[in-house]
Chains A and B, each alone.
Chain A
């Protein structure tokens, strides 16, 4: 059973550096979502793709953030010039638009610490 996978699981970086995270969704899922979660809070929506098209971006996603899903399969989330406030868990989820309810299944997350 191949669920959603994310790499790396942990990332420590210095302020000002760029980081890139990867998400591999469940293979038959056409939608892919990125969320950010800080301690004691629920996940916050960042952006999502349907196949390779990026259909919505949150206002939380500043110009320093960019996401791609070039072939409609895996996705990358890049943060440029990281700031300490970017420290969080970055969660990826995937879903299929067919079927009931479009349940999103989450990957294990990438925990980012910006020093």
Chain B
């Protein structure tokens, strides 16, 4: 089956670094996506990994280990506006996205 697991909630302090983990168990793997979703809004694309390793994009980085079925999203220099839900999603070989339940991140001053 397909099962995406990520923590439900995390709290961090403004200016700090936070790592949000995601594990997946599936066949037909076609890449791992991270999306950000503010309350009441649509998900917005953050990152995509299909090969093992780290992809860096500004304050956000994403890591993938296919052998371990594991990914993480790293957010540096946290800002208050980073308070949002972070969705891990696996892309199947048919193109559809299978999402985890999302991690609600609260950034405190």
Contact = CB atoms under 8 A, between A and B. Distances in A.
Interface of A: 31, 33, 35, 40-45, 48, 55-56, 91, 93, 95, 97, 100-109
Contacts of A48: 94-96
B45 A103 contact: yes
Interface residues of B, number: 23
Given A31-B95, A101-B50, A42 B33 contact: no
Given A101-B50, A101-B91, 12 more contacts: A40-B102, A41-B102, A42-B100, A48-B95, A56-B94, A91-B43, A100-B48, A101-B48, A102-B95, A103-B33, A103-B45, A106-B42
Contacts of A31: 95
B43 A43 contact: yes
B48 A106 contact: no
Nearest to B39: A39
Nearest to B87: A42
Contacts of A103: 33, 45, 48
Interface of B: 4, 31, 33, 35, 41-45, 48, 50, 87, 89, 91, 94-102
A35 B42 CA distance: 11
Contacts of B100: 42
A93 B42 CA distance: 10
Nearest to A42: B99
Nearest to A46: B96
Contact of B97 (A40, A97, A104, A107): A104
B10 to A, nearest CB: 15
Contacts of B42: 91, 106-109
Contacts of A55: 94
B101 A106 contact: no
Contacts of A44: 99
A45 B45 contact: no
A4 to B, nearest CB: 8
20 contacts: A33-B96, A40-B102, A42-B4, A42-B89, A42-B99, A42-B100, A43-B97, A44-B99, A45-B98, A48-B95, A48-B96, A55-B94, A56-B96, A91-B42, A97-B95, A104-B33, A106-B35, A106-B43, A106-B44, A109-B42
